[in-house]
Structure 1
Amino acid sequence: MKEAFQRVGLIAKSGDERVIRVLKELAGLLDGLGMEAVLDKRLAEALPNWQSQISDAEVMAENVDLIIVVGGDGTLLNAARLLAPRPVPLAGINLGRLGFLTDMAADRAVEEMTAVLQGRYTRDHRHMLHARIREGDSVVAEDLALNDVVIQKADGGRMIEFETWVDDRFVSLHRADGMIAATATGSTAYALSGGGPILHPDVDALALVPICPHTLSDRPLVIPGKSRVHFILRGERSNQAQINWDGQQTSPVAPGQTVELQRSEQTTTLLHPPSYDYFALLRSKLHWGRSQDGNVPR
């Protein structure tokens, strides 16, 4: 039995009535367990009678033992990037669609979160990526990503042309809509829809997945997780591209600029309830092995 938590932060997707219901259930749970709740101030207006401390998310991370994220994977991704400098663990309750990261179902949130809060959980450390746009000696933009870093065309027009380098070794020249560089965590996100492989979270690797390449033999490539990757945009100045971090933060990339990425020193720690099983999660979310009646044979 691991040590239970004392102060718990709550971050959630605002503007959703289901979120309010789950947060109220968590309030009762925390109070019943004698734990102190700290609420993200962006939710304070929706919960005016909440008997807890109110805090900025960044400040909250310095003063709590655990942060519960209520929403979808996007909400947790945003929290992970925001809180990366502060190594506080995250536990996710899913109110989105897939829920690969927010793996506790809303209808079992109290039961599963009770186990976590009492110290019955597994701790899961996930690598993050650091990516920056460089022009000469200047850094134009930089950020962190838990799922993926994507370089892609900036509009609906022509494909972009770019070089890929891994550890200062030339890989290929691509003409495509872009390239996804995904962590094992992000292998079940955008990279999966682009035909990339599923990587178990314990696999220390990156998946490079071309987006709609002009050459059919331009296939996904799995490389060591410690690799340093460079994308160099080629073509005319009008050939605009962009980079995005976890589909949330975006910056333009111009020909001649370089996108550099590698594993970050920052990691994200996820806590899972005792019932967590990664392969069961894949079966559930990807509908593996379903019969016509919707059941999964064992």
Structure 2
Amino acid sequence: MSKAFQRIGLIAKDGDERVATVLHALVALLDRRGLNHVLDQRTAAALPDWPHKAEDAETLAGDVDLIIAVGGDGTLLNTARVLAARPVPLVGINLGRLGFLTDIVASRAADDVAAILDGRFTRDMRHMLSARIEREGREAEADLALNDVVIQKADGGRMIEFETWVDDTFVSLHRADGMIAATATGSTAYALSGGGPILHPDVDALALVPICPHTLSDRPLVVPGNSRLRFVLRGDERTRAQLNWDGQKTHELIAGDRVELQRSKEKTTLLHPPGYDYFALLRSKLHWGRAQEEQVPR
């Protein structure tokens, strides 16, 4: 067993009856191994008669060696933002629909976590993004994202108009429903549904994907991962837009706001169980080759 993991944090999504089953199986595993464990308070509050210790997520993040996130990719994304100040390794157990980040299926949770506790895992470092809103020369809001930062219209009506700059070089003036700035991690999320490319996690790049652009030649653009991006919202008092980080946090934008975005010094560390294969994950989640009934070479 790896001596690196002696105190384990458990964070789970709300409102899913399967959570309790998975958590009890994990706690039984940890108890058998004599490892300390703690649940975050929000999760514990949703579980009737949970008998184990609970802490708020921020305190938990500073008090454990490993965190297991039980839920969908959204649960892991939110956990990654909470952990950003202290890069505790993350393990994801999938109770959601796709599970690009939470790659352990619930039926194998105890077995795969046991392997990770034994030191048999793949360590995967993922870049994060730092995005801030500047309004009239002052910072209005700032936060981190693992998947993507999105500027988008805030109502169901008019497009928004905004400038895009890369490293202080003007790229274009866009009229669209918005723009997705995605890391390689986020390239299989909102950016993919918007027609963007899939970037392998080892590729140090950002994908800029326009959302429903007015000009059909306004296509996705891949730029170096260390680029400094700036979006400037044009318009008037009728302009309604917003910025969101990983779909978890949203802040209003008004005409004249500048969104400054660049790679953060913080990173997210993911631990995958033995046998992890990124391309096998893509085949499974995106159903590649299913129609042709292709066989995987042996």
Normalised by the shorter chain, which TM-score bucket? over 0.9
CA distance in 2: counterparts of 1:77 and 1:158, whole angstroms? 30
**Partner of 2:85 in structure 1?**
85
Q: Judge conservation of contact 1:290–1:296 (CA < 8 Å) in 2.
A: no
1:99-133, Cα deviation, whole Å (9 max, x unpaired): 00000011111111110111111111110001011
**Partner of 1:196 in structure 2?**
196
1:154-233 to 2 correspondences below 5 Å = 154-233=154-233
Q: Judge conservation of contact 2:2–2:117 (CA < 8 Å) in 1.
A: no
**Partner of 2:71 in structure 1?**
71
SS in 1 for 2:268: strand
Q: Judge conservation of contact 2:196–2:207 (CA < 8 Å) in 1.
A: yes
SS in 1 for 2:230: strand
- The normalised TM-score by structure 1 is 0.96
1:29-48 to 2 correspondences below 5 Å = 29-47=29-47
SS in 2 for 1:44: helix
**Partner of 2:250 in structure 1?**
250
Q: Which moved more, 1:95-104 or 1:37-46?
A: 37-46
Instruction: State the number of aligned residues.
Output: 297
1:192-223, Cα deviation, whole Å (9 max, x unpaired): 00000000001110000000101111000000
**Partner of 1:290 in structure 2?**
290
The change in CA–CA distance for 1:234 and 1:45 in structure 2 (over 3 A counts) is closer
Q: Judge conservation of contact 1:289–1:297 (CA < 8 Å) in 2.
A: no
- The normalised TM-score by structure 2 is 0.96
The CA RMSD measured in Å over matched residues stands at: 1.4
CA distance in 1: counterparts of 2:188 and 2:43, whole angstroms? 30
SS in 1 for 2:45: coil
CA distance in 1: counterparts of 2:8 and 2:56, whole angstroms? 14
**CA shift for structure 1 position 50:** 4.2
- The sequence identity of aligned pairs, in percent, is 71
**CA shift for structure 1 position 240:** 1.4
| Structure 1 residues without counterparts, runs of 5 or longer | none
CA distance in 1: counterparts of 2:155 and 2:44, whole angstroms? 38
